[in-house]
Amino acid sequence: MKVVIDRELCQGHGRCFSIAPSIFDFDELGNGVVIGDGSLDENTVEMARLAQANCPEHAIFIEE
């Protein structure tokens, strides 16, 4: 499983990296970025889902 941020949709609300700082970070404009290759395991997938459920722009996708 992998998490990705659609850079076209992200507007930098900053919810993902506040909720799940081990999975997401921000770039110099404050837009969200995925740390590393975004691979998720059973310990991190819930956090990624929570971030997804709070993204106002629906910019986070989890690929099974």
Smallest separation (angstroms) from another protein to the CB of 14: 6
Distance CA 29, CA 62 (A): 23
Distance CA 35, CA 59 (A): 16
Q: Is 13 in the site for another protein (CB under 8 A)?
A: yes
Binding marks (x or -) toward another protein, 19..58, rule CB under 8 A?
x------x-xxx-------------------x--xxxxxx
Q: Is 24 helix (H, G, I), strand (E, B) or coil?
A: strand
Nearest to another protein of 18, 39 (CB atom): 18
Binding residues (CB under 8 A) for another protein: these are 11-15, 17-19, 26, 28-30, 50, 53-58
